Amino acid sequence: MASEITYAEVKFKNESNSLRTYSESPAASREKPIHHLSKPGTLMLLFISLMILLLLLAITFLVAFITYFQKYSQVLEEKIAKKNIIPSELNCVKDVSMMEVWSCCPKDWKPFGSYCYLIPTDTSSASWNMSEEKCSDKGAHLVVIHSKEEQDFITGTLRRNAAYFIGLWDTGHGQWRWVDQTPYNESATFWHQNEPNNDDEKCVMINYRYNIGWGWNDIRCSDKQNSICQMKKIHL
Ligand code: MMA
Ligand code: CA
């Protein structure tokens, strides 16, 4: 029994001894990684690498920012240029309803009410989308017809054997919309009899039907037709 206790004491001593020996051994101390970091040369190298990395990052960001800014200002400039389309020549009249104000339309455009109209004299047909784009390039849009008087004025200037796209299109199934966001008013529409008649015909033209007169017909947007552009009068 007594010899058993002695063995336990010896074992305990041995363990604590071996621990102490390990921590104090010079070989173990050399293995500690913290010893390497404390060298001033290594620290400096790490610092320089970090600085170079940061510099590279900053340069990358700067280049990306400059590229983005240049692209953005180019898009902005184009937008402004498109908005400020100034016609080279204007025809103006003194507006009786507005004192000291001149109401102007670009040369070759016809004035009526508060709008100017470009009626094609030659046959230059294009799809509905292309026609709207051509108007938009002139600072205008495909014609929006607000009243019978306006429709009569326009048709009075058109050729009976031609057809002309107007600024009306179908956004769904009979969801008619004007290009300038004027609300579609059923009571001021001038469809030919039995038109619109086809859900695949999503764009609208105006044409003359023999013995009937002028009216609207829905046709395919890819069809090529003449077109009428319209813009608000310019006040000077
Ligand atoms: C007919 C008539 C119109 C239709 C066109 C398509 C000539 O008119 O059915 O409603 O839009 O054909 O070409
Ligand atoms: Ca039709």
Output the CA 217–ligand 2 centroid distance in Å.
5
Look up the pTM and report it. Answer: 0.67
Is residue 93 domain-resident?
A: no
Does residue 223 line the site of ligand 1, with CB under 6 A? Answer: no
Residue 130's CB is within 10 A of a number of other CB atoms, namely 15
What is the Cα–Cα distance from 203 to 127, expressed in whole angstroms? 10
Output the CA 5–ligand 2 centroid distance in Å.
112
Nearest residue by C-alpha to atom 10 in ligand 1: 197
125 and 53 within one domain: no
What is the Cα–Cα distance from 137 to 82, expressed in whole angstroms? 7
User: In the listed set 85, 118, 146, which residue is the last one of a domain according to the structure?
Assistant: 85
Q: Is the peptide bond before 33 cis (omega within 30 degrees of 0)?
A: no
Q: Among 197, 221, 225, which residue has the most ligand 1 atoms within 8 Å of its CB, making it the best to mutate? A: 197
User: Which CATH number do you get for residue 184?
Assistant: 3.10.100.10
3-state secondary structure 42-64: HHHHHHHHHHHHHHHHHHHHHHH
| Predicted confidence (pLDDT) per residue in 28-80, tens digit | 444 445 555 557 788 899 999 999 999 999 999 999 999 999 888 888 887 77
Q: How confident is the model at residue 122 (pLDDT cuts 50, 70, 90)?
A: confident
133 and 19 within one domain: no
Residues in the chain: 236
Question: Relative to the CA of 223, which ligand 1 atom is closest?
Answer: 13
| Domain assignment of residue 22, given as a range | 1-85
Number of domains comprising the chain: 2
